[in-house]
C-alpha cells in the first residue's frame, strides 16, 4: 500500500509537466517501485546485521548480510534494465533519423 501511495504522489508532478498523461508508462512506475524495494531491503539487511552484531547473534548478522546481497542483486537488475532501455531508445532514435533522411 505504501508503494502505491508513493507512486501516485510521484506521478502527479510528472503528469503536470508531461504533454499528455499517456507519456507516463506503468513500466516507469514499476521500475521506481523495484528501486524503492531494493533500498528497503538494503536498509532491512543493515538493521538486521547491526542487531545481530549488537546481541552477538551470528544468525541475524548473516541473514542481514544476505538481505544486503539480495538488495545489491535487485539494484544490479534495475541497472541492466535501465541500460537495455537506453540502448533501445538509441536504436529507435537512429531508426527515426534514418527514416527522416530517406523521406
Q: What is the pLDDT at residue 27?
A: 52
- Structural domain includes residue 6: no
- Structural domain includes residue 72: yes
- DSSP state letters, the chain: -HHHHHHHHHHHHHHHHSSSGGGS-HHHHHHHHHHHHHHHHHHHHHHHHHHHHHHT-HHHHHHHHHHHHHHHHHHHHHHHHHHHHHHHHHHHHHHHHHHHHH-
Total number of domains constituting the chain? 1
Q: What is the pLDDT at residue 51?
A: 96
Q: Is the pLDDT of residue 68 over 70?
A: yes
Q: Report the alpha-carbon distance of residue 12 to residue 69 in Å, rounded.
A: 33
Q: What is the pLDDT at residue 31?
A: 65
CA distances 10 to 1, 33, 60, 98, Å, are 14, 11, 34, 35
- Structural domain includes residue 60: yes
Give pLDDT tens digits for 43-60: 999 999 999 999 999 999
- Structural domain includes residue 7: no
CA distances 46 to 2, 52, 53, 58, 78, Å, are 21, 10, 10, 14, 20
- Structural domain includes residue 49: yes
Q: What is the pLDDT at residue 32?
A: 73
pTM of the model: 0.59
- Structural domain includes residue 87: yes
Amino acid at each position: 500500500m505504501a508503494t502505491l501511495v508513493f507512486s501516485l504522489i510521484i506521478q502527479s508532478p510528472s503528469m503536470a509537466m508531461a504533454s499528455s498523461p499517456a507519456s507516463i508508462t506503468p513500466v516507469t512506475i514499476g521500475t521506481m517501485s523495484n528501486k524503492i524495494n531494493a533500498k528497503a531491503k538494503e536498509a532491512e539487511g543493515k538493521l538486521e546485521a547491526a542487531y545481530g552484531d549488537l546481541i552477538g547473534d551470528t544468525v541475524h548478522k548473516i541473514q542481514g548480510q544476505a538481505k544486503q546481497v539480495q538488495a545489491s542483486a535487485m539494484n544490479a537488475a534495475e541497472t541492466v534494465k535501465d541500460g537495455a532501455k537506453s540502448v533501445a531508445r538509441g536504436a529507435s532514435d537512429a531508426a527515426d533519423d534514418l527514416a527522416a533522411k530517406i523521406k
